Amino acid sequence: MDALQRLQQIRLPFADLLGIQFTSATPERVTAEMMVRPELCTSPTILHGGAFMSFADTLGAAATVLNLREGQGTTTLESKTNFLAPAMVNTKVIGETTAVHRGRRTMVWTTKITNEAGRALAVVTQTQMVLEPSAS
């Protein structure tokens, strides 16, 4: 099973709520798309900053999961977003997450979010902590 198939089989309820569709995946890079629906917007009808951040956070976490060993988990340790341009309602945003650092204890990812024309909308850098299995 390839990395994209693995991601598509993992139950991610919040990603489902946002409407995130993974389009490609390797341990070094994950891409996905999300439609800007009215319920994800602020006023005026542009994508809410939290929705941008949630989209990127989901991609970074998914990329981390592809690099974990059996039994390990992950959680976001830090995230920083630069908002560059709005995403209009009823358009699609595209996210590309690439590895900056894939270590044993932490992983750092940069996610570039663009519109369908390729215009940069946001850049997110996040750190994911690798969680070891708990001893029972």
Residue 66 has pLDDT above 70, yes or no: yes
Give the sign of the dihedral formed by CA 32, CA 53, CA 122, CA 44.
positive
pLDDT digits (tens, 9 = 90+) for 80-122: 999 999 999 999 999 999 999 999 999 999 999 999 999 999 9
**pLDDT score at 36:** 98
Confidence label for 57 from pLDDT (cuts 50, 70 and 90): very high
Residue 58 has pLDDT above 80, yes or no: yes
Which of 48, 13, 28 shows the shortest CA–CA distance to 97? 28
**pLDDT score at 52:** 98
**pLDDT score at 136:** 64
Domains of the chain: 3-131 (3.10.129.10)
Please state whether the predicted TM-score (pTM) of the whole model is above 0.75: yes
Cis peptide bond prior to 133, omega within 30° of 0: no
- Across residues 9-14, what is the average pLDDT? 89
